[in-house]
A and B are shown apart, each in its own frame.
Chain A
């Protein structure tokens, strides 16, 4: 056998050793799962945190009664927050701005970007409703001065005003601004800002934990083959590939 083949064979062996992962059987893994202690109270808190952050105020109230879990925020403030969110989602931006200011005037004072996005949404709604003159006036008087302070605001303003230049907006390069997703984007930005102003995290913890699960499984997957959960909606444990 030539030296060449010996080297090749040795390299292959080294590679196999490097990639051979420890296999954790289902039985062994299930035993480990049983040893994990998850507190019911903590799961309740996680669910309450989801309901509260996502704004399910009635469900949160019911859950408080049924499970005895205290919400981590005053439930009354959810109603106000959801009213703002819904106003933006429905296109009543002026109404939403007024409601935010009633809630806490500092929110918009300290968030120029949020304020700009709300004004931009207002402009979009004017254009959507065909109020061309009003839209132009609003863009020039209210939005342009803000654009001077900030380059990215100016670009967004130009993009929005461009809507006026097209006859068929559904088929124009900036048409997505009129899409419902733009309203939702603005609404969730306001929602997050209100939560932050109430010293509450802007996102629920559950989605992060689900991402953490995927991450942890991937990390462990570098070292071992083990039963995974790939479908979050069933949480079924899948046998490790043999």
Chain B
């Protein structure tokens, strides 16, 4: 579902009004049964929602999983039936006859680091094994590194080859019993190789397009097995990634921001969402800090907008969060009747659904059925809401609905969506609000969006290479993580 479509609709008053309701319906849809089912089919696993969202981007890219047996070097390598091992044929062959095998897919690039390992089971008669990266269409009878646009770390001499017949001094030679790894660091645009868990060297990656993990065997009895990550690596990839992130972090930490910037953003956040009790306590506590925080509100207008009806918004949030939807309806009817004016609006739909959900929660199923019959039909007919109506109605089918596929409806986050929608609607009734889109996002939200958009745009310029911005990962990257 493309949320930008719904947001960029026309600008008549009622439309922009419902823009808020529609926005929050989209928030709901992200958690809906249909959305979960879709992401499950993409990923093939049903992890919890958090994991899905963080990793969805990385999972979109298919990883190399095995060696490519479709394209072969014409009898100079034999890939094992597990497609994870290669050996050189047991016949004396000409010195030119290299057996090269690529992975079934190129290395994924929307991430910080890609890495794979090989284990040399037998270095054969000459130990002319190579690990490296090659481009699509690479000549599979040439050692990686011998041709342009390829890189290879060779076992017999420990040299690095990149596009020329002559190698460069790089790392130690490797042989039977050694584990050797090849990686791509997308942040530094470097390739690195490891031997038995230690980085032996790095080389600048001047190829922009996709690169395939590649292994080569070149003398009798050579046997190599490949690990694309199914088994744990010998090299501590997590530690390497953490170290790379720390490098970036220390560059970033050197930048300076206005001293009380965070304080002001937190305060604006509390105002925006109507967390009035927290805001008042926060103000009292921050007055007693040393030095006292002198946060000058430079933009009086912005302050007014989010202070608007702070107390009413707080009360409405409390009612919705405690499941008292009827009372919330009453309060809205009394204070902001314009919000409920259009009985088929998205905001009315959200409130009616929540009322239904609350009836199911407390086990008043008959009442829920009656409520659904009176309220849902008009929304179902509109067509825009049918997926969500179905999710709600499905609650009735289960003895323990919280354990069902629509159990998410009984969670706190569903109440929060409704509370946030009502909060934004009330903010938009402020006569000084010119564009109701202003009411959708707190300052913190806008800053984080900007941050994320910058990361994505930067990656696009970088040939789709590198990491996106993952707030959830950052939140969980503490010392406890």
Closest to B299 in A: A234
**A217 to B8 CA separation, bound complex (whole angstroms):** 25
Chain B contributes a number of interface residues (CB within 8 A of A) equal to: 72
Chain A contributes a number of interface residues (CB within 8 A of B) equal to: 71
**A204 to B317 CA separation, bound complex (whole angstroms):** 27
Q: Flag whether B394 is at the interface (Cβ < 8 A).
A: no
CB neighbours of A223 from chain B (8 A)? 458, 461
> Does B442 contact A33, Cβ atoms closer than 8 Å?
no
CB neighbours of B302 from chain A (8 A)? 234
**A31 to B7 CA separation, bound complex (whole angstroms):** 9
**Cβ-defined partner of A216 (8 Å) among B266, B299, B413, B455:** B455
> Does A66 contact B257, Cβ atoms closer than 8 Å?
no
**A211 to B258 CA separation, bound complex (whole angstroms):** 10
Q: Flag whether B399 is at the interface (Cβ < 8 A).
A: no
> Does A36 contact B262, Cβ atoms closer than 8 Å?
no
Best-buried of A31, A206, A212, A223 by chain B (most CB within 10 Å): A212
CB neighbours of A242 from chain B (8 A)? none
Per-residue B-contact encoding for A76-91, CB less than 8 Å = 1, 0 else: 0000000000100100
Which one of B145-153, B230-238, B284-292 is at the interface?
B284-292
Are A34 and B452 CB-contacts (below 8 A) given A59-B282, A232-B265, A234-B298? Answer: no
How many whole Å from A105's CB to the nearest CB in chain B? 21
Q: Flag whether A108 is at the interface (Cβ < 8 A).
A: no
**A235 to B451 CA separation, bound complex (whole angstroms):** 11
CB neighbours of B257 from chain A (8 A)? 207, 210-211, 214, 232
Are A214 and B255 CB-contacts (below 8 A) given A39-B53, A43-B444, A206-B266? Answer: yes
A205-234 contacts to B, CB under 8 A, are: 205-217, 219-220, 223-224, 226, 228-229, 231-234
Closest to B479 in A: A199
Closest to B251 in A: A215
How many whole Å from B130's CB to the nearest CB in chain A? 35
Q: Flag whether B242 is at the interface (Cβ < 8 A).
A: no
Per-residue A-contact encoding for B429-457, CB less than 8 Å = 1, 0 else: 00000000000001111111111111111
- Known A-B contacts: A49-B475, A57-B285. Give 12 more (CB < 8 A): A33-B449, A50-B262, A58-B281, A63-B270, A68-B416, A196-B479, A200-B478, A210-B261, A214-B255, A226-B457, A229-B447, A233-B264
Query: What 5 A-B pairs are tightest by C-beta distance, nearest first?
Result: A216-B454, A59-B282, A235-B443, A62-B278, A63-B278
